Chain A
């Protein structure tokens, strides 16, 4: 990692300097903006981080289901780098956190086996001046929308970080003998069930390990995504994502929900 870009690019510093003067950029919708203000935060600026990563290749055994640990490592590391750089931009602005974070992977023609991992979001700061940074002293990150952020704050939970876990898994090909052995029947293939189950549980457990490092009480909005990227149909990345939250008060300020039979749908 010696040649990794350590500093923010010049363009970024200039943009961030201007943001410090008070002008802010944000991709929040009007309602999101108002709700974030309402809950005592002010948007500071749109922040991002990216990492172009050569994910390499790994040999797989044709007939065996297995985790491809090198690829798992690469996919994880690359997202982590993008996230860290986004956090650095946010820290530069003196932010308490980043909301509405999106993580994307892009592939370009010029880079074989290379992918751009990008993280973007809106940096926010508490107007009260009380620090809301997480246990590690970094701005919290979260993929929650403004509305979700507001609602969560009313339930006594605050976000700590966008946590993720990944597992790249190779699914065995089936030999002719195996296929013929069960030809003419629709039957369970327990080895496949077990392999895919294991892969998803690994991704989720890794996500939970990240949350535990933040001393989180839970993870909300968990999503489990599956992508084959450019590896062909037998290799699948299982990515699990969610926002780690911590309970800070038992006081729930969410108004008691009122049952409404609404006239719209």
Chain B
């Protein structure tokens, strides 16, 4: 069962040393496992022995300031500083006033994406370092979160999981352990289907929306004096932003797969409203990067089950 849980090429991520407490934890007797008991049992069944609960953290100073400024009447669209997506709208009214938004723009906040990756990838590689220190072949049941810490204006990235060894296998070569969000039962199914875990994959896309007059009025729900219907109408600028943020996330994750496939992906898009019509969209896409190691064996026919839960 444990074939397909082989080694991966090393990478050059630089990480700080483990704290003293961590080294002591891995050098002493009892293993720790963050798995539920059914997942624990399923892992033992697959020949995976838990060696330790491993974790990595990265605390980032975090502010959602944007570059550029509201364009107001006379401003022109922001250019430069971002790579990738940018799109702008111009007021159709030909009306000039200090309160009228003449320009609107959507753009990708690539600096936010870079910072997110610095935090996430930093925490991830530290978790890998703990796993390597414990002599693990892989890490199962990975969870990741990013949470603001108190009122400090900082965001803490956490990546945690249970490091496992393949029973009876040679110690891992100097490669890095494989990782997966899946644990016992679902991992077993994935391996049975011929897909070996390679690593978790996650990325973020961030798009800033600066509303122009039309978007502003439509999100207000008032037609104003501009002749727009306050009934259902598409808010073009918002729709485009939502489509863009998802598309960027998908493109980015593809760039991280390197010919492997992504399984069990989840996409979470959130919107932070910054003002009337102004918003920041964030899309986090994560999943399991897997590689086929044996031909697909048809799985058993689906059947209804009656269980004592």
Residues of A within 8 A of B (CB): 31, 34-35, 144, 147-148, 151-152, 154-155, 171, 173-174, 179, 182, 184-190, 192-194, 196-198, 200-202, 204-205, 207-208, 211-212, 216-224, 228, 233-234, 242, 244, 252, 254, 256-264
Contacts and interface: CB of A to CB of B under 8 A. Distances in A.
Nearest to B155: A186
19 contacts: A147-B309, A151-B38, A152-B40, A182-B61, A186-B63, A188-B60, A188-B61, A190-B59, A193-B58, A193-B156, A208-B32, A211-B29, A218-B31, A218-B50, A221-B34, A223-B34, A261-B299, A262-B305, A263-B304
B189 interface: yes
A188 B118 contact: yes
B235 interface: no
A31 B308 contact: yes
Contact of B44 (A197, A198, A224, A252): A252
B38 A148 contact: yes
B129 to A, nearest CB: 11
A260 B38 contact: no
B300 A154 contact: no
Interface residues of B, number: 61
A174 B112 CA distance: 22
Contact of B189 (A185, A193, A224, A259): A259
For the complex of A and B, the 3 pairs showing the least CB-CB separation, nearest first, are A233-B150, A186-B115, A201-B21
Contacts of B36: 148, 221
B41 A254 contact: yes
A118 B112 CA distance: 44
Interface string B268-309: 000000000000000000000000000000011111110011
Interface in B191-230: 192
B8 interface: no
B149 A257 contact: no
Contact of B119 (A171, A188, A264): A188
A208 B45 contact: no
B309 to A, nearest CB: 7
Contact of A171 (B16, B150, B305): B150
A160 B152 CA distance: 41
A264 B37 contact: no
Given A171-B150, A222-B32, A224-B55, 4 more contacts: A193-B122, A220-B50, A222-B34, A259-B300
B267 interface: no
B21 A155 contact: no
Contact of A233 (B151, B301, B308): B151
B40 A220 contact: yes
A203 B45 CA distance: 30
Given A154-B41, A201-B19, A171 B149 contact: yes
A187 B59 CA distance: 8
B213 to A, nearest CB: 30
Nearest to B300: A259
Contacts of A223: 34
A83 B267 CA distance: 42
A144 B38 CA distance: 11
B83 interface: no
Given A155-B41, A186-B61, A259-B192, A201 B22 contact: yes
Nearest to B162: A222
B98 interface: no
A211 B29 CA distance: 9
Contact of A189 (B28, B34, B59): B59
B85 interface: no
